[in-house]
Structure 1
Amino acid sequence: MIPAGHRRLILTRHAKSAWDDPAMADHDRPLNARGRRAALELGEWLHSRGYEPDEVLCSTAERTRETWARAAAAPLEVTPSVTYVEALYHASPDAMLAVLQRVRGDCVMMIGHNPGIAAFAAMLPARAPVHPDFRRYPTAATLVVDFQIADWSEARAGTGSVLDFFVPAGRD
């Protein structure tokens, strides 16, 4: 349950992608077997903690789309609206913040790519989580952060409160 006057962001890096075909365009790379397992584990973790987005913003890359599809396979209580956003493909932290500031959901999940997502995660909270993998933000890493704001247009760097940080067991 999100407290009144708060907004929650679930910030996820895509799960591990396949590199089997060197000729494949980066945008088209799917998840590998470990990534598929990690995305399912992520969905189960989100559900077990009650972190269920009402809005999902996902990069248009195949690996981010598949990360969401597999995470959403866990039994969710809410069916979120999902928007695939080209601007999130290898986005900078400033671009991610600009996308976030235009959304309306109370609990928003954003799925993107490194290095931008790690930098975005680092700039959001007033205090970063104490976790050995936080700065590296490995595949499927997920930060859950609350903001004491009434509207996402008010979201600013350094004002979030970390609720949780998760990295699936089979990380890279």
Structure 2
Amino acid sequence: MSVAELRRIVLFRHAKADWPQVTDHERPLAERGRLDAAAAGRRLADTGIPFDLALCSTATRTRETWKLAVHEFPQRPKTVYEERIYEASPGELIALLNETPDDAQNVILIGHNPGVHGLADILAGSGEGDARERMERRGFPAAGFAVLSFDGSWKALEPAAATLVDYWAPTE
């Protein structure tokens, strides 16, 4: 694959978590989160993006979100559980994505706010249709995702290098 090929990155925020008496890292999904994670998975499958790689935070709620969402996919991508996603800033997430091998064309990152929302804002130099307006209006609620595309290698991914091509969030 040429590094100049179109690549896609999906930034997927974990679904709604519960607040039991556990550490933040160990918080599980709430019932609504389980329903929204599956709905997000169906919507992601509908995009037709053949994911090569999933980078998922090690937090319980992100792992549960991914398990429910990927169940809706026609094919499960290679999944890497990455502790650096938990509490990561947008800059730290870009650094992590810069490490992605160039044989991965389409990557999904399952993480947390404010990092995921901040990263979507920073990467999106432009937007298609009303995707940016919808993201700005809705924010980045639990189980929401943004689809961005860019040309070049993962090492070259930087602020404003991508186009926001789709945005989805569950209805409230």
Q: Work out whether the TM-score is over 0.5.
A: yes
- Partner SS, residue 41 of structure 2: helix
Q: Distance in 1 between matches of 2:87 and 2:137?
A: 19
- Partner SS, residue 167 of structure 2: strand
**What is aligned with 1:137?**
140
**What is aligned with 2:53?**
55
- Partner SS, residue 120 of structure 1: helix
1:55-80 deviation line (CA, Å, top 9, x unaligned): 00000000000010000111x23321
- Partner SS, residue 7 of structure 1: strand
**What is aligned with 2:116?**
117
Q: Distance in 2 between matches of 1:9 and 1:132?
A: 16
TM-score by length of 2: 0.89
Letter in 1 for 2:122: M
Equivalences for residues 1-172 of structure 1 within 5 A: 5-19=5-19, 21=20, 23-74=21-72, 76-104=73-101, 105-127=104-126, 129-131=132-134, 133=136, 136-149=139-152, 151-170=153-172
Q: Distance in 2 between matches of 1:163 and 1:78?
A: 22
1:112-155 deviation line (CA, Å, top 9, x unaligned): 11111111111011125111556721111100000011x21111
Q: CA deviation at 1:93?
A: 0.5
Which blocks of at least 5 consecutive residues in structure 1 are unaligned? none
Q: CA deviation at 1:160?
A: 0.5
Q: CA deviation at 1:159?
A: 1.4
The structure 1 segments of at least 4 consecutive aligned residues displaced by more than 4 Å after TM superposition are 132-135
TM-score by length of 1: 0.89
CA contact (8 A) 2:135 2:167 kept: no
Which blocks of at least 5 consecutive residues in structure 2 are unaligned? none
Overall identity of the aligned pairs, in %: 37
1:73-113 deviation line (CA, Å, top 9, x unaligned): 11x23321100111000100011001101112110000111
CA contact (8 A) 1:44 1:71 kept: yes
- CA RMSD between the two structures: 1.5
Query: Aligned residue pairs: how many?
Result: 163
CA contact (8 A) 1:17 1:29 kept: yes
Bigger drift between 151-160 and 126-135 goes to 126-135
Q: Distance in 2 between matches of 1:159 and 1:133?
A: 19
